[in-house]
Amino acid sequence: MTASDDLLRRIEQEAALGEALVWPGDFEVDRREPVEPLALPTGIPLRPVAGCAAGGTYFLCGEAGSAARPVLYADSEGQATLIGRDLVEAITLVVVLPYWRDLAKGYSVGDLGAAVRADQPDFDAERDRLLDALGLAPASEEEVAARLLAVAASTAPHYVPEVPDDDDYEPYELLFERDTA
């Protein structure tokens, strides 16, 4: 078992952990059904592990138990990106920087942090409690954003999902453009 497999099992089995990831992280383990079936051009298996309220899906890439299992996020609008080298990194992202998708729209880490604190004044304390409960190391918003952009830059070409057996469907677009990283 890898750290990612262990973490996923804990989140699935401990309802309080799964519920804590829903808001503001928008990572819902009870919402795993993707909008459409997806496949990677390399044939690497995709396992849906959670969804978000906007219809996006988080996927673990690769075989269970394998050491390298990056996490792919595919939204309902045809965009996708890697968000972590593993589930530990991806969960750290959604806990520390829950509005991470807005980085692709040009918002700064500081603006996003201020917005989450305006909506949820206890965010820092709740974030720290959740990281501790999950057994994850604390990280700054800047560190997490830098890791996201670095892994997002490696999405293409191997991790850009497509709809299998649909000649009319275009592959997903990158959520983060290469020059963003």
* Domain assignment present for 110: yes
* Domain assignment present for 181: no
pLDDT, block means (10 residues), the chain with 181 residues: 88 95 92 92 95 95 88 96 97 96 95 94 96 96 97 96 81 79 39
Number of structural domains in the chain: 1
Quickly list DSSP for 107-171.
--HHHHHHHHHHH-TTHHHHHHHHHHHHTPPP--HHHHHHHHHHHHTT-TTTT--B-TT-TTPPP
- Helix, strand, or coil (residue 79): strand
Domain carrying residue 84:
3-176
* Domain assignment present for 46: yes
* Domain assignment present for 36: yes
* Domain assignment present for 129: yes
Say if strands 79-84 and 173-174 run parallel, antiparallel, or are unpaired. parallel
* Domain assignment present for 79: yes
pLDDT at 180: 41
pTM of the entire structure? Answer: 0.94
